[in-house]
């Protein structure tokens, strides 16, 4: 197998695996966080403002791990440095 | 008019104009566009303000915005917002305007480029020690790095750096992913779904601007706060005895 198809195969496969695994963890974490936040708002509706604010900030923190995985898979598909290198060396 | 192809992952790669080593790419162009729009808009609105019962609708808009930002800062920092609103409010408004304008055809949000978001995150990184030293003094600020024990020093330093990286990559990833998803859907199912995703992009753009500003405020507040908590504890003990 020549290096172009090898790099293409590895990049696309890794991009898919990256976003798949990277989506599972934050999804579970955000689900737990939202469930707990809703339970707290139901218990103390007066504190809804500060709970919602903290919840949003926390969700952004959790979500950033998924965003890292997404950025990695985007780089692998659209701006792959190894792919560009092989194309330049070949043609 | 679409100069961002699917292959371009940041608007830095789109160069509009070049002369020797000076080049203007899409990021710089649209950043200055957003800045000009905001400065011109707020100059036009604040030119004739009225304090009477009848105000223009644009003044009403700005009052709602500024008042909302002040209230949020007061809630988070438990302090008077006047010294923080210049920095945090500017961050919020700039990010929100540059995200919300993305429904204009031909516009590329400058926040979809890692250089813009990294610059904003470095501003936050520099602002934290400035505010911390202003409120607690140099030694008081440096002292928080060796709390609770000096063993935590490397972790505190790494935490400071990694949260700056996280700020930059979070904003970049969200806005860039919104753009890319619209571009991909445009090729797969044109007409309807891209519009829905673009509408979702307006929501995430606003939320990301809010989160960026809130996190900047939280970081600044954590650098200025510990001092005041000690004071409060001292007061409570004094009242008990």
Give per-residue pLDDT as tens, B62-97. Answer: 999 999 999 988 888 877 878 889 999 999 999 999
Could you give the CA distance from residue B214 to residue B226 in angstroms, rounded to a whole number? 18
B1 domain residue, yes or no = no
Task: Tell me which chain B residues have a C-beta less than 8 angstroms from the C-beta of A53.
Answer: 72, 75-76, 214
Interface pTM, i.e. ipTM: 0.72
Label each residue of B27-63 as H, E or C: HHHHHHHHHHHHHHHHHHHHCCCCCCCCCCHHHHHHH
Please give the residue range of the domain that contains residue B222.
11-240
B5 domain residue, yes or no = no
Cβ-defined contact of B215 to A60 (cutoff 8 Å): yes
Cβ-defined contact of A64 to B170 (cutoff 8 Å): yes
Domain count for chain B: 1
Identify which of B172, B177, B211 has the shortest CB distance to residue A56: B211
The pLDDT tens digits of the residues spanning B119-149 come to 999 999 999 999 989 888 888 888 888 877 8
**B133 touching A, CB under 8 A?**
no
Mutate to test the interface with A, among B170, B184, B209 (most CBs of A within 10 A): B170
% of chain B exceeding 90 in pLDDT: 23
pLDDT at B75: 84
Least confident of B7-11, B83-87, B201-205, B237-241: B237-241
pLDDT band at B241 (very low <50, low <70, confident <90, very high): very low
How far is the alpha carbon of A49 from chain B, nearest alpha carbon, in Å?
Answer: 10
pLDDT at B54: 82
Q: What is the pLDDT along chain A (91 residues), one digit of tens a residue?
A: 788 888 889 999 999 999 999 999 999 999 999 999 999 999 999 988 888 888 888 888 888 888 889 888 888 888 788 888 888 887 6
pLDDT at B236: 58
The architecture that CATH gives domain A3-90 is: Up-down Bundle (1.20)
For the cut 50, the answer to whether the pLDDT of residue B209 exceeds it is yes
For the cut 80, the answer to whether the pLDDT of residue B10 exceeds it is no
Q: How many residues does chain B have?
A: 241
Q: Which two tokens stand for residue B141?
A: 């600020």
Provide the CA B81 distance to its chain's centre, in angstroms.
17
User: Residue B17 pairs with which residues in a beta bridge?
Assistant: B24
Cβ-defined contact of B170 to A74 (cutoff 8 Å): no
| Domain residue extents for chain A | 3-90
**Cβ–Cβ < 8 Å for B193, B185:** yes
Could you give the CA distance from residue B144 to residue B100 in angstroms, rounded to a whole number? 38
* B64 vs B4 pLDDT, higher one: B64
Cβ-defined contact of B173 to A68 (cutoff 8 Å): yes
Identify which of A50, A61, A67 has the shortest CB distance to residue B169: A67
pLDDT band at B235 (very low <50, low <70, confident <90, very high): low
pLDDT at B70: 92
Phi, psi dihedrals of residue B10, rounded to the nearest 5°: -135, 155
| Mean pLDDT of the B150-175 span | 88
Tokens 């520099």 sit at which residue? B126
Contacts of B223 (CB under 8 A, 6+ apart): B128, B129, B131, B132, B135, B136, B141, B144
Name the DSSP letter for residue B106: T
């Amino acid at each position: 197998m020549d290096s172009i198809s090898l790099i293409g195969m590895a990049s696309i496969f890794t991009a898919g695996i990256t976003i798949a695994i990277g989506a599972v963890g934050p999804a579970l974490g955000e689900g737990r966080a939202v469930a707990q936040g809703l339970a707290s708002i139901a218990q103390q509706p007066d504190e809804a403002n500060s709970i919602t604010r903290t919840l949003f900030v926390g969700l952004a923190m959790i979500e950033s791990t998924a965003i890292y995985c997404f950025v990695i898979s985007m780089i692998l598909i659209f701006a792959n440095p190894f792919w560009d290198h092989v194309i330049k060396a070949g043609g | 008019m679409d100069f961002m192809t699917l292959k371009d992952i940041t608007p830095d790669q789109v160069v509009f104009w070049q002369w020797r080593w000076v080049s203007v790419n899409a990021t710089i162009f649209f950043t200055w566009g957003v800045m000009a729009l905001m400065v011109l808009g707020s100059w036009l609105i604040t030119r004739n303000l009225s304090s009477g019962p009848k105000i223009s609708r644009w003044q009403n808009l700005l009052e709602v915005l500024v008042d909302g930002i002040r209230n949020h800062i007061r809630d988070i920092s438990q302090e008077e917002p006047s010294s923080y609103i210049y920095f945090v409010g500017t961050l919020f408004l700039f990010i929100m305007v540059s995200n919300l304008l993305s429904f204009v055809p031909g516009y590329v949000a400058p926040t979809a480029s890692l250089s813009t978001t990294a610059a904003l995150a470095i501003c936050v990184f520099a602002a934290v020690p400035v505010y911390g030293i202003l409120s607690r003094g140099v030694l008081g600020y440096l002292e928080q790095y060796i709390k609770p024990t000096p063993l935590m020093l490397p972790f505190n330093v790494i935490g400071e750096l990694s949260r700056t990286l996280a700020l930059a990559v979070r904003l970049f990833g969200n806005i860039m992913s919104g753009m890319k998803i619209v571009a991909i859907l445009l090729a797969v199912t044109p007409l309807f779904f891209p519009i829905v995703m673009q509408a979702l992009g307006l929501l995430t753009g606003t939320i990301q601007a809010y989160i960026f500003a809130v996190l900047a405020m939280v970081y600044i507040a954590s650098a200025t706060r510990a001092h005041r908590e000690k004071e409060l504890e001292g007061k409570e003990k004094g009242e008990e005895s």
